[in-house]
């Protein structure tokens, strides 16, 4: 239990704690001979400096907070890897906090972060978050924040997003091209940028094709899978039911499949489906799922890079847009089995 402290090293070597500290930090004030002795003993005793003591004195934690709705989502798990890779390289630890799509949890986490626990925060807001007051409050306390993917318009923080509107438009156009007459849109809270932007891309594509966007074809889902399933089934039981679905978040795809299954609707014959998703196994679903695939790892890495600059006091671009790609597979019908991949339309500014 008794940790090996710097004091123990000092006693052992008959040196002062300040000398040990300086030696460990390779200060020029310490002779090479002494440094060697200190380093050797530290290695032998497997000494690890207490991070809390360092944080306290240095007034920085070398921790970054990652605040996301959940981890069981391939976009977020890939983004985490991107973030962690950059953070680790720069000597930062990542603290992952999950909101479970609950704004109350999100607020509590950001409140906690006012304590100085982290030097900066990367976040993707929850589906129940109405505005960015809690994020601004954190920023007012001097904690830099970078938003990625799910951003909010009223937060003056740098943002890393994909070309949501364009991608949703492309997805919608693919469905229309493949014969859909009535395309529905499944999103989350319209307060979320990804919902709003993807919705507007969907609407533009409809208008462009001479269709009128209809409110009844737009469904706002939430974190309750069961309720979402019921809503989707209600949508698909309508007499004038949609024959195409653009789903804006990954977790909705299985629900659409399940709903179709339970209602004996065939994909893609009766309903064509495309979903924003990074699922590796999209191609092995029944039928294989067409997706809008985001560069999740790169977005995480980019966001982490921005945050690190920000924490160093540098100025950074306020919006980075990276392109997503569409992978057409079985669920959108069309040209057959081969995936017709469109390349990311890279409108990025990095």
Considering only residues 217 to 236 of the shown chain, the ones binding a copy of itself according to CB under 8 A are none
Q: Smallest distance, Å, CB 5 to DNA?
A: 4
Size of the site for DNA (CB under 7 A): 28
The answer to the question of residue 59 lying near DNA (CB under 7 A) is yes
**Does residue 118 interact with DNA by CB under 7 A?**
no
DSSP string, 54-73: HHHHHT---EEEEEES-SSS
d(CA 272, CA 256): 10
Q: Which of 6, 23, 38, 78 binds a copy of itself (CB under 8 A)?
A: 78
343 binds, among a copy of itself, DNA, none (CB under 5 to 8 A by kind): none
Return d(Cα 180, Cα 326) in angstroms, integer. Answer: 17
- In the bound state with DNA, the residue whose beta carbon lies nearer, of 54 and 349, is 54
Q: How far is the CB of 41 from DNA (least distance, A)?
A: 13
CA separation for the pair 158, 143 (Å, rounded):
13
Q: For the chain, how big is the Rg over CA atoms in Å?
A: 25
* 25 binding partner (options a copy of itself, DNA, none; Cβ < 5 to 8 Å by kind): DNA
Q: Torsion angle of alpha carbons 113, 114, 117, 123, nearest 10°?
A: 30
Q: Which residue has the tokens 């909010």?
A: 152
**Residue 284 partner contact from a copy of itself, DNA, none using kind-dependent CB cut-offs of 5 to 8 Å:** a copy of itself
Contact between 6 and DNA by CB under 7 A: the answer reads yes
**Number of other CB atoms surrounding residue 247 within 10 Å:** 28
The count of other CB atoms within 10 Å of the CB of residue 26 is 9
**CB environment 202-221: b (16+ within 10 A), e (fewer):** bbbbbeeeebebeeebbbbb
CA gap 31, 309 in Å, rounded? 34
* 48-56, 117-125, 259-267, 279-287 -> range binding DNA (CB under 7 A): 48-56
In the complex with DNA, the residue whose CB is nearer, 33 or 281, is 33
Residue 34 or 204 with smaller CB distance to DNA: 34
Q: How far is 147 from 136, CA to CA, in rounded Å?
A: 12
Residues that bind a copy of itself (CB under 8 A): 1-3, 46, 48-53, 55-56, 61, 70-72, 74, 77-78, 80-81, 84, 93-96, 98, 100, 111-112, 114-117, 137, 141-142, 253-254, 257-258, 261, 279-281, 283-288
Residues that bind DNA (CB under 7 A): 3-7, 14-19, 21-22, 24-25, 29-31, 33-34, 49-50, 53-54, 56-59
């Amino acid at each position: 239990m008794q940790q090996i402290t710097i004091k123990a090293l000092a006693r052992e070597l008959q040196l002062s704690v300040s000398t040990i500290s300086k030696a460990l930090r390779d200060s020029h004030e310490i002779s090479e001979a002494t440094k060697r002795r200190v380093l050797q003993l530290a290695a032998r005793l497997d000494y690890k400096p207490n991070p809390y003591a360092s944080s306290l004195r240095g007034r920085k934690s070398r921790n970054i907070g990652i605040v996301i709705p959940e981890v069981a989502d391939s976009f977020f798990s890939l983004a985490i890897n991107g973030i962690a890779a950059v953070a680790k390289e720069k000597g930062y630890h990542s603290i992952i906090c999950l909101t479970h799509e609950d704004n109350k949890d999100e607020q509590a986490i950001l409140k906690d972060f006012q304590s100085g626990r982290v030097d900066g925060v990367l976040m993707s807001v929850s589906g129940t978050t109405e505005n960015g007051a809690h994020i601004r409050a954190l920023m007012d306390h001097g904690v830099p924040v970078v938003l990625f993917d799910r951003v909010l318009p009223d937060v003056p923080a740098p943002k890393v997003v994909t070309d949501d509107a364009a991608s949703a438009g492309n997805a919608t156009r693919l469905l229309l091209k493949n014969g859909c007459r009535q395309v529905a849109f499944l999103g989350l809270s319209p307060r979320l940028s990804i919902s709003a932007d993807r919705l507007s891309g969907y609407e533009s594509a409809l208008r462009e094709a001479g269709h009128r966007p209809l409110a009844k074809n737009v469904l706002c889902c939430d974190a309750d899978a069961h309720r979402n399933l019921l809503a989707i089934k209600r949508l698909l039981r309508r007499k004038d039911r949609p024959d195409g679905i653009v789903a804006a978040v990954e977790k909705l795809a299985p629900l659409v499949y399940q709903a179709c299954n339970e209602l004996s609707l065939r994909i893609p014959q009766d309903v064509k489906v495309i979903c924003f998703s990074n699922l590796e196994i999209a191609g092995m679903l029944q039928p294989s799922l067409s997706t809008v695939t985001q560069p999740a790892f790169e977005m995480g890495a980019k966001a982490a890079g921005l945050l690190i600059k920000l924490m160093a006091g540098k100025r950074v671009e306020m919006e980075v847009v990276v392109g997503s790609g569409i992978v057409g597979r079985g669920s959108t019908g069309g040209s057959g089995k081969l995936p017709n991949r469109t390349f990311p339309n890279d409108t990025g500014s990095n």
